[in-house]
Amino acid sequence: MATAFLFGCNSESATPVKTAETQAPETKVTLPFKMSYDGTPSIGKTENIATVMNFNGDFIAGKLDNIGSYFADSVHIVFEDGIDMHTVRDSVVNLIKAWRGSMSAANQTYISAVALDNKEKGHEWVFQWIDESHDYKNGKKEHRIFHEDYRLENGKIRECFQYAQAVPVKK
């Protein structure tokens, strides 16, 4: 009996596993301000991050033949300069092709990305932070850090909100 007890104590199954019953209940926090977009965030699907990364990867590489496959039939986009578009997939595809076609090169590195869901609203989100540069055919060069919020429906991009930061000057 003592031998069984020793093996039992040293086995991985003897390590307590936190389950819903053993975890401390989540403390309800009342936020000091009301938000216009309410709900409780929860971790979302990593597949949504992959969708957004694949879209961005194709854009950067100039692989635009399949770019429409990433978008829902109707799309809402707010760009970093304040342009707000409610449009259809074909218009977004034409805009992206024209924009990327004006570039001789584009580069992007990922800083971070996270998928969050708002179950109360049925929304799935990907928030990403990227370092991106564009070299235009007219000689203009652009380098920014972007934060972009993508809302997906059925694995397709339905909305995108873009924010930009100038790249900090190196000292």
Domain-wise residue ranges, the chain:
41-166
Q: Per residue of the chain (171 residues), what is the pLDDT tens digit? A: 443 433 344 444 444 545 455 556 678 888 899 989 988 889 999 999 999 999 999 999 999 999 999 999 999 999 999 999 999 999 999 999 999 999 999 999 999 999 999 999 999 999 999 999 999 999 999 999 999 999 999 999 999 999 999 998 888
Rounded to whole angstroms, the Cα distance separating 51 from 154 reads 11
Are the C-beta atoms of residues 166 and 144 closer than 8 Å to each other?
yes
Residue 166, Cβ neighbours under 10 Å: how many? 8
Looking at residue 126, its pLDDT comes to: 98
Question: 37-70: string of b/e by CB count within 10 Å (b at 16+)?
Answer: eeeeeeebeeebbebbbebbebbbeeeeeebeeb
Torsion, Cα 113 117 122 123, to 10 degrees, reads: -20
Of residues 67, 86, 55, the one with CA closest to residue 148: 55
Rounded to whole angstroms, the Cα distance separating 75 from 151 reads 10
Percent helix / strand / coil, the chain, rounded to 5: 25, 40, 35
Could you tell me which residues are beta bridge partners of residue 77?
A: 85, 160
Residues 6 or more apart from 2 whose CB is under 8 A from it?
Answer: none
Could you tell me which residues are beta bridge partners of residue 131?
A: 109, 145
CATH code for the structural domain at 41-166: 3.10.450.50
pTM of the model: 0.81
Burial of 101 (0-12, 13-18, 19+ CB in 10 A): exposed
